[in-house]
Amino acid sequence: MSDKQLLHLVIGGELKNVSDIEFRDLSQVEFVGAYANYADAHAAWKAKAQATVDNAHARYFIIHAHKLLDPSLD
């Protein structure tokens, strides 16, 4: 039996200000990938976050795209 696919996207880049969620340059936002479950998305997010730890303005995010496509999904 396979698990139901719940689409998660991981994106990130440099923010204008660390106290807000506004990217410095939208053309430079990195699409890390699309993942079928939260665990895989979290692993990708964690790897990118750790790789950019020296850049205080770099932030990566997990977007629960399945909830945008169908709000009834959990």
Cα–Cα distance measured from residue 31 to residue 61, given in angstroms and rounded to the nearest whole number: 10
pLDDT per residue over 4-48, tens digit each? Answer: 889 999 999 999 999 999 999 999 999 999 999 999 999 999 999
Model confidence, pTM:
0.88
Residue 56: phi and psi, rounded to 5, are -60, -20
Show the tokens assigned to 5.
């696919």
pLDDT tens-digit series, residues 38-50: 999 999 999 999 9
